[in-house]
Structure 1
Amino acid sequence: MPRPLLADEIAQSLLDRIVDGAPPSGGRLPSENELGQEFDVSRLTVREAIRTLQAQNVVEVVRGRGTLVRPVEEWTGLEAVLRATVRGGDDLTASLQLIQVRRMIETGAAALAAEHRDEADLAALEEALRGMRDAHARGDLAGFVEHDIRFHDVILSATGNVFVAVLFEPLSRVMREKRRQTSSIPAIQIHAIEEHGRVLEAIRSGNPESARLAMESHMAQTSRDLREHVFGLTD
């Protein structure tokens, strides 16, 4: 017997529909009774899911009209906005904007990591980079992406600042899909391995400015690779 869906899972499912345009901005969600029957849960669980979306300003409950979808411009939930942007029509703009946000966060994180990293952090970075190289050699896309993400997660953790990883977490989830898109191209994998190696050595040096510049170089290379190899653009 399948387990009952949780309110968070229902909220995510409804958000997926909204992001896909069903219902569109200004449209109405099905009633609590209809959603309860569809998901086979109580109205209380549906109501909790709706509250989750309300808290992100994705929907509003209007007396006499039901639960209405608000314009994306009014949403305040980071993950919701990211998902809407990523699934939008202008994939290049969304991808470049994601890199811009990464650059703002990760250059600072690399500088902090250079100051606070310990031997365990360096070992973890080396292991992740080695995993990227091995996965590239095997043609293992999924493995390459996982080790790539692991490398950056270690840097966030090595900052010693608990808020950095918390702020980056919803962005990281959305970026998994983008990393699979870009990392499927062998040339981009080669560039990523080279750039990650420079970031590792800069963090190992303990020099915050060197680490910041190495991560800046990595983000710039990622942006160039995206434009050239994914979208076929040249400057």
Structure 2
Amino acid sequence: MARKSLVGVVADELLDRIISGEFPPGSSVPGELELSARHDVSRMTVREAMKTLEAQRILSVERGRGTFVNPLNRWSSLEAVLRAASEGQNGPAAAVQLIELRRMLETGACELAAQRITDDELDGLRNCVADMRKAHQANNVASFVAADLAFHDQILHASENVFVAVLFEPLHRVLEKGRTETSKVPDIQEHAIGHHQNIFEALAARDPRQARNAMDAHMQQTLDDLRSYVLEA
């Protein structure tokens, strides 16, 4: 195996240990000797792996003291943050922050979509809401989540802003996991269906302000439901 690949293996395993909570923020990570023995690699390989995580601001080196784990809000790697959000111990806070991010981006995307959406795209949104209703009645969580995600994806693309769609693509795995958890609650499904219908009607009216407000109300309801049914359950 090439040294570069070994560097990636060591960096990934150390990141996994950080995400699992073995090394929480502010704690020190093992030194080069311990890691090189654990992975049966050279100290140079370990050093390069540590530099990789340092470059992503996951680790900070304090000369004379050691290498320490930074808080999640200092990390600069989107992939690492997404892994922490989907696999780590910071789930509740990450879930709230993800809704905050969606609120900032999706309300604007919905406002743009109201001015640009096509009749075919509106038909697609109508079908998504219908699919959500059918899945709710059949208690099919997987189908409900698929229709829910498809509805939001259509709006992002209907905004015709390529940056918005690209920004959301890496979030898909985390969104799917989060929706699957919350959508197990029938009341949350009912709330979502009502808000998706309101968003559809605002877009069908091609009213930018109404569309923005409808999406904002949906994001607020999503946050309220997360706190009431999941985080405080």
TM-score normalised per structure 1 = 0.76
Q: Are the equivalent residues in 2 in contact too, given 1:79–1:171 (CA < 8 A)?
A: no
Between the two proteins, the alignment pairs up a number of residues equal to 223
**What residue identity is the alignment partner of 1:195?**
H
Give the letter for the 1:21 counterpart: G
Aligned to 2:76: 76
Residue 37 of structure 1: how far off its partner (Å) = 5.6
Q: CA deviation at 1:52?
A: 5.6
CA distance in 2 between counterparts of 1:11 and 1:151 reads: 37
Cα displacement (A) at 1:113: 0.8
Once residues 158 and 6 of structure 1 are traced to their aligned partners in structure 2, the CA distance between those partners, rounded to angstroms, is 43
The 1:33–1:231 alpha-carbon spacing in structure 2 relative to 1, beyond 3 Å, is closer
State the one-letter code of the partner of 2:120. Answer: A
Letter in 2 for 1:27: S
Which residue number in structure 1 is paired with residue 28 of structure 2?
Answer: 27
Q: Which deviates more, 209-218 or 49-58?
A: 49-58
Instruction: Answer whether contact 2:84 2:90 (CA < 8 A) is retained.
Output: no
Identity of aligned pairs, percent? Answer: 45
User: Whole-Å Cα distance in 1 between the matches of residues 114 and 49 of structure 2?
Assistant: 41
| 2:180 maps to amino acid | R
Distance 2:153 2:29 in 1: 39
Kindly provide the CA deviation profile for residues 94-144 of structure 1, in whole angstroms up to 9, marking residues without a partner as x: 433332222111111100111111123222212222221121111111111
Verify the 8 A CA contact 2:109 2:156 in the aligned structure 1.
yes
The DSSP-based 3-state class of the residue aligned with 2:229 is helix
Aligned to 1:156: 156
Q: Which residue of 2 aligns with 1:115?
A: 115
- The offset of 1:194, in angstroms, is 1.1
* 1:197-212 paired onto structure 2 within 5 Å: 197-212=197-212
* 1:7-156 matched pairs, under 5 angstroms: 14-24=14-24, 25-28=26-29, 53-59=53-59, 69-81=69-81, 83-84=83-84, 87-88=88-89, 91=92, 93-156=93-156
Q: CA RMSD in A?
A: 3.4
Q: Take 1:78 and 1:209, find their aligned partners in 2: how far apart are those partners?
A: 31
| CA gap 1:35/1:123 in 2 versus in 1, 3 angstroms | farther
Verify the 8 A CA contact 2:53 2:59 in the aligned structure 1. Answer: yes
Secondary structure (helix, strand or coil) at the match of 2:29 reads coil
CA distance in 2, matches of 1:113, 1:137: 29
Distance 1:53 1:76 in 2: 10
> 8 Å contact 1:141–1:183 — kept in the other structure?
yes
Q: Any conservation in 1 of the 2:61–2:68 contact (CA below 8 Å)? A: yes
Unaligned runs of 5+ in 2: none
Q: CA deviation at 1:208?
A: 0.8
Query: After superposition, what is the alpha-carbon deviation per residue over 1:72-97, rounded to whole angstroms, capped at 9, x for unaligned?
Result: 34312344345546744672x44333
Question: Contact 1:23 / 1:29 at 8 angstroms: preserved in 2?
Answer: no
- 1:167 is aligned to 167
Cα separation, 1, equivalents of 2:79 and 2:117 = 29
Q: Deviations over 1:173-211 (max 9, x none)?
A: 323222122111001101101110111111121111111
Name the CA shift for 1:124/1:16 in 2 (closer, same or farther; >3 Å).
farther
Structure 1 position 10, deviation (Å): 7.5
- Say which SS state the counterpart of residue 23 (structure 1) adopts: coil
Tell me, in whole angstroms, the C-alpha distance in 1 between the residues paired with 2:157 and 2:49.
Answer: 31
**Is 2:204 aligned against 1:214?**
no
CA contact (8 A) 1:59 1:70 kept: yes
